[in-house]
Amino acid sequence: MNLYKRLRDNKKIVSILLLIAIFAVGYPVIKRSEKETLKYKTEQFFNNIIEEKYEEAFVFLDYGGIDKESNITLNEDNKRGNWIKKLKQQRANGVRIERCKEVKVDNVDYPCGTVKLVVNKNGMLEEYIVNVKYIRSKNSYKIRNISKIDDEIQETICGRINES
């Protein structure tokens, strides 16, 4: 009986050690996968804006939900329409993103990233290194805000200025 009890206790210890080993190996793999997914989403978001595929880009965005003029909270369809209208208006005014490069994502604590954007402002190319903040939304992350860029561009793209 004593031998049986020791074997049973050893099985518990081995099971616990095996479980710890699985988590120790699996967690970094999951974090790396999440990092690559965020990098892809960020690249797709900006590339869709560049290619004027606004509907596809909106999927990756957590857009600010208050209309500044009427101070009314917008539903998802109104947010999308409002956002696309503002991007088209900005492009018509001669301001548009030309290129997105060097996307880097860090997800050690909470995901954040940096992107190098080349912005055309009425024929003048300006390069920005912008910070990207993400928010968890329905089991995935969306782009919440960008910063270190012209306030007008930031508000048009994200629907908010200097919020976290």
**3-state SS, one letter per residue, for the chain:** CHHHHHHHHHHHHHHHHHHHHHHHHHHHHHHHHHHHHHHHHHHHHHHHHHCCCHHHHHCCECCCCECCCCCCECCHHHHHHHHHHHHHHHHHCCEEEEEEEEEEEECCCCCEEEEEEEEEECCEEEEEEEEEEEEEECCEEEEEEEECCCHHHHHHHHCCCCCC
- pLDDT for res 25: 67
29 or 76, higher pLDDT: 76
What values do phi and psi take at 4, rounded to 5?
-60, -45
CB distance 69 to 86 below 8 Å? no
Sheet holding 112-121, edge to edge: 95-106, 112-121, 124-137, 140-147
CA distance 117 to 20: 42
- % of the chain at pLDDT higher than 70: 76
**Nearest one of 119, 132, 152 to 39, comparing CA atoms:** 132
- pLDDT for res 43: 92
Token duo for residue 155: 């508000």
Token duo for residue 67: 């209309």
Token duo for residue 65: 């939900």
- pLDDT for res 16: 77
The pLDDT confidence band at residue 31, using thresholds 50, 70 and 90, is: low
Under CATH, which number does the domain 2-158 receive? 3.10.450.100
**Nearest one of 151, 152, 145, 110 to 131, comparing CA atoms:** 145
- pLDDT for res 7: 63
Residue 32 above 80 pLDDT? no
Query: If you average pLDDT over every residue of the chain, what do you get?
Result: 78
162 or 102, higher pLDDT: 102
What are the sequence ranges of the domains in the chain? 2-158
Tens-digit pLDDT profile for residues 73-129: 666 777 788 888 888 998 888 888 899 988 998 877 788 899 998 988 888 998 989
Q: Does this model's pTM top 0.85? A: no
